[in-house]
Structure 1
C-alpha cells in the first residue's frame, strides 16, 4: 500500500528508544515486543517520520515485469536459529495450532491491472465509501506488490499448516480481480478466524525504509464496529512486530509510527469491517532500493513468513 497525506492516528511509543537495556528491564519487557527490545539494545535505527494516508491510484497499465520472477523461489523449510537473546521458536508439530483458524489476506491481486473499472467501484467501509481494491505498488524493476503478497501468503500458510492450523487465503491468484475490501473482511468474519493478517508492501519515497504493522482504531459508524477487536488486534500486532524484527532483522519504519513499527488507522475497510482480531503488515518499502532488494529475495520472504507466523503463534497460544 502507499500513502499521500497525514490521515492516520500515530500510536504513542511504548518506551523511550534511548533507554539503556539492562537485564532487569529486559525481564519486564512484554513478550510481544521482546524482539524489538533486543534489536534496540544492539543499535537499531528505526526513526520517526511524517505519516501518510492510503491513496493508491489504480494504474492503467501493468508495470513491466522484472527480468527474473523472484516469487518463483522455492521456500526454505528451515526455521531461523535462536540464540540466548531470542525466545525459543514455537514448537513445531501438527498439534501446536490444532483447532485454530487463521485467515491470510494477500493484498491486492496480480490481475487488478486488467480490471480498473471493477476495482474503482465504491464499497461501504462504515466511515464512508472507498474503492473496491487497488492495483498496489511495485519495485522500480516491476516486481509487483500483488506478486509479493501472494508469495509471502503461501509461505505463511505452509508454516502455519505444519503446526496444525486451519488456514484460509482471501485469494490465491484464482480470481480475475479483488476481492473487494469489504469481502476480504467478510471472509475472515465468516471463517470465525482466531486471527487475520493482511500482507502488504508500501510504495513510499526513496530513503523511507522498514516495516510497520497497522492496527484498527476504535470505529463505530454504519456497518463498522471495531470496539470489540481493538485490544486483541493490538496484541496480535505487537507480537507480530516483535517477531518480525527478530526473525528478519528489519527495522521498524523510519517514516511512520514514531519508531514503534505500529500505526493505528480508521480509514481501512479491511479493518473497519472486521469482527475478528485483524492487522495489516507493510513488510517494507518497494520504492526504496535497499528495501526492494530484500523484498525480491525468496530467502528473505521466507524469513518474513516465519516472522509473521511466530507472532501469530505467540498470540494464539497466549
Structure 2
C-alpha cells in the first residue's frame, strides 16, 4: 500500500517488437476473434485485470480462479461476479438485506488507492493535513511483479466483502468504487467513515515489501492527540476490531501473520496514517499480503483466495459488531 516510496516506478506500457509484421496477420485474426467473442461472453472474465490496468499503461492481467459460491446463499449464486463488480448495484451505499444479525449496522469499506491514480500524479501528490502533519493525498499503490495492481486487488476484495456483509443485513458504504478518476485523498476517506457514523471501517490493502516478506497484517491506530487528530476514543474498539479480523483471516485463508512486521501477531500500531489519525469511528487497515513476493502474489491473484480473504474480513467484522 503506502510503503511505496518515490523510487517506485509505475508499470510502463508493454510494446510489441512484432507490431509491423503483425499488421498483415490482423486481418486473418479478425474472423477468429469474432467467433471467439461468443465463447468469451459465455465464460466471462476471470477477474483481476480490467480496463483500469489499460488506463495505467499496462497489459490487463487476469486473476486466476473464479470466486467461490456462498454457503449461506439459498440459490447457490456466487457472492460476487468473477470481476467482483456484481456485489451491489450502488457504488456508494448498498441496499441491505431486510433481516440479519447486522441489520441497522453501517460498515464503511475503503478500497485502498484507485486504479486511475497512475494518471493523476499531480493531484495525488498534493499534501493534506493528517492531524500530526501533512502527507500526500494518496499514492498509486504497488503491483505484483507481473503488473497486477494493488488498486485492482483492493476493489475486488472490497466488492466481495460488500456482498458478504449485505447478506448479514449491514448497510455498506464505499469510499470509492472506481467511480471517480482518482482518489479520494486520505483525509476524505476518513471523513466518509466519520460522516456515515460507521460502526466499523476497514481499509483494504496489499503491501509492497521485498521478496521473502510474507503474510498479512492488520494496522491499528495508535493514540494520537495532536492538531485535528484525536484517536483516543477509538483506540480500544479499533484494536478489538483488528484482533477479530486477524483471527478470522487466519482461519479463512490459511495464511500466516506477517513475518516482517508485528512480531508474529499480525497486528501493527501506527501513528502516521491519516486515514486512521483522522477517524472518529473504529477503523483498521489490513494488508492482505505482499504483492512483491511471488508466493504471496500467487494467492493475491487468485479469485478463490480473494473470496477467502473477503470471508475472513467479513467474519471478523460480524464478530466485532455482534460483541
**Same fold per superposition (TM over 0.5):** yes
> In 1, Cα distance between the equivalents of 2:232 and 2:6?
27
Structure-2 separation of matches of 1:299 and 1:61: 26
1:57 positional shift: 5.6
> Normalized against structure 2, the TM-score is what?
0.76
In 2, Cα distance between the equivalents of 1:97 and 1:313? Answer: 7
Contact 2:61 2:147 in 1 (8 A): no
**Secondary structure of the structure 2 residue equivalent to 1:141:** coil
- The aligned counterpart of 2:269 is 264
Q: Is the 2:216–2:286 contact (alpha carbons within 8 Å) kept by the matching residues of 1?
A: yes
The answer (yes or no) to whether the contact 1:57–1:134 under 8 Å persists in 2 is no
1:65 Cα deviation (Å)? 3.9
Map of 1:284 onto structure 2? 289
Check if 1:69 corresponds to 2:62: yes
Give me the whole-angstrom Cα distance separating, in 2, the residues matched to 1:57 and 1:215: 26
* SS of aligned partner of 1:99: coil
Contact 1:102 1:168 in 2 (8 A): yes
Aligned counterpart for 2:252 among listed residues 241, 244, 247: 247
Structure 2 CA distance for partners of 1:79 and 1:57, relative to 1, 3 Å? farther
- In structure 2, the residue matched to 1:212 is 217
**TM-align CA RMSD:** 2.0
- The structure number with the bigger radius of gyration is 2
* Moved beyond 6 Å, runs of 4+: none
* Residues 1:56 and 1:248: Cα distance change in structure 2 (over 3 Å): farther
Change (3 A) 1:135 1:77: same
- Deviation for aligned residue 1:95: 1.6
Equivalent of 1:94 in 92, 99, 102 = 99
Matches within 5 A, 1:1-318: 1-3=1-3, 55=5, 59=9, 65=58, 68-70=61-63, 74-79=66-71, 94-318=99-323
What is the deviation of 1:74?
A: 4.4
Q: CA deviation at 1:70?
A: 1.7
Aligned-residue offset at 1:94: 3.3
User: Scaled by the length of structure 1, what TM-score is found?
Assistant: 0.77
Name the count of aligned residue pairs.
Answer: 256
Q: Which runs of 5+ in 2 are unaligned?
A: 13-55, 73-96
